[in-house]
Amino acid sequence: MPAPLYTAIATSTGDGRAGGRAVTDDGLLDVTLAVPKDMGGPGGATNPEQLFAAGWSSCFHSALKLVASRRKVSLVDSAVVAEVSIVPAAAGGYALTAALRVHVGAGIAPEVAESLAAAAHEVCPYSVATRGNVPVTVTTTVAQPVTHPHE
């Protein structure tokens, strides 16, 4: 295995997702955790699924930009929304599912946007790490050009 380019280090203490704390070694991320209200908890703080969704959406967006750059496609007003859900697992415990919604600005053909999203899904480290383990759907939306009827 090649040498790491970067290693993120985070430590979770306390009661884990139920009021614990997660801190990175550089102190840039320092969050209290809480069980979401939807799962019977108090809410009011972040949770592991939100942190995973934030990481995956930003990583996937970077992969999308990289793939577009390599193909010499200019992406304007792009965004990636990651929805990470926790679901009961068949064998007990819990599992994750995910939906990645890729939005690109006007001027990109829908089939090009879909091709870029598919290529990003192949190279994004989060997508690679979860492949075969987390059911994922990837959808794309291209903004419609703004038309001005009085021009």
pTM for this predicted structure: 0.91
- What separation, in Å, do the N-terminal and C-terminal C-alpha atoms of the chain show? 59
Does residue 77 sit in the same domain as residue 131? yes
Query: For residue 144, what is the DSSP state?
Result: P
Which pLDDT value is given to residue 39? Answer: 92
Does residue 91 sit in the same domain as residue 148? yes
Average pLDDT for residues 100-118, to the nearest whole number? 95
Which pLDDT value is given to residue 144? Answer: 75
* Residue 104, both tokens: 């690109």
Which pLDDT value is given to residue 151? Answer: 53
CATH number at residue 23: 2.20.25.10
Average pLDDT for residues 34-48, to the nearest whole number? 94
Q: What is the number of structural domains in the chain?
A: 2
Domain assignment of residue 123, given as a range: 47-151
Whether the CB-CB separation of 48 and 17 falls below 8 Å is answered with yes
Which pLDDT value is given to residue 107? Answer: 87
